[in-house]
Amino acid sequence: MFHKEGHKIIFITLVTVVAACLLVDNFVSINWLRTLILIGLVIFLVLILQFFRNPRRHTALNDNHVVSPVDGKVVVIEEVFEKEYFNEKRLQVSIFMSPLNVHVTRYPISGKVIFSKYHPGKYLVAWHPKASEENERTTVVVENSTYGKVLHRQIAGALAKRIVNYAKVNEKAEQGSDSGFIKFGSRVDVFLPLDTNIKVTLNQKVRGGESVIAQLNE
């Protein structure tokens, strides 16, 4: 199953690879070189298909939990001052996605979308200290009566050249459902209340829509 954001790119890539394979097969007479090029073209197609895959995820809906919005590795857990929306201290959990990860962004909680904004910007590497403020990014805030407000921010990286955001203000968000997609990129930050109980550790691998990254303190 492939994400709708990849349908056009997959089609163009498939046509290009098939055409290239036919040309190579007809015009490259050196066996080892022809084989090498054909293998390279097939690998390229497989990588594109893998990048846009959209596996089904089984989200256990729970208003006391925050699930990971993306697949990847936890690279930041710290208290920070969030100045775009909250203008106060929050717990930040950042998840880095490699080109091999699923790049679908999912809502970390259910509720109402109360803020959604796109920012054009640079394409610094995702782990750069200023990436969250200077790179192309989108900020989405979802609120529910149990958890309050949770902000997640898609951040483009050195390879990411387009962020897709589906969140619209006043729309209902369902935990684990599609919130957007980052094409060839790269990081998502989640900003949580200070009294949140973080359930992940640095360098832990998480699955979007399934891994619980935080829960309310009882």
The active-site residue, picked from 132, 179, 186, 211, is 186
- In the residue annotation, 211 being an active-site residue is answered as no
Contact yes or no for 69/96 (Cβ under 8 A): no
> Using CA atoms, how far apart are residues 213 and 198, in angstroms rounded to an integer?
6
Give the pair of three-digit tokens for residue 44. 């390229």
> Using CA atoms, how far apart are residues 60 and 57, in angstroms rounded to an integer?
10
> Using CA atoms, how far apart are residues 13 and 41, in angstroms rounded to an integer?
10
> Which residue in the block uniquely carries the two structure tokens 């303190």?
217
Contact yes or no for 163/138 (Cβ under 8 A): yes
User: What are the helix (H) ranges across 31-190?
Assistant: 31-51, 131-134
Contact yes or no for 140/113 (Cβ under 8 A): yes
How are strands ordered across the β-sheet holding 162-165? 104-106, 178-183, 162-165
Contact yes or no for 174/151 (Cβ under 8 A): no
Helices (H) and strands (E) in the chain, counts: 3, 14
> Which residue in the block uniquely carries the two structure tokens 């990129």?
185
Type of residue at 211: S
By annotation, the residues acting in catalysis are: 186
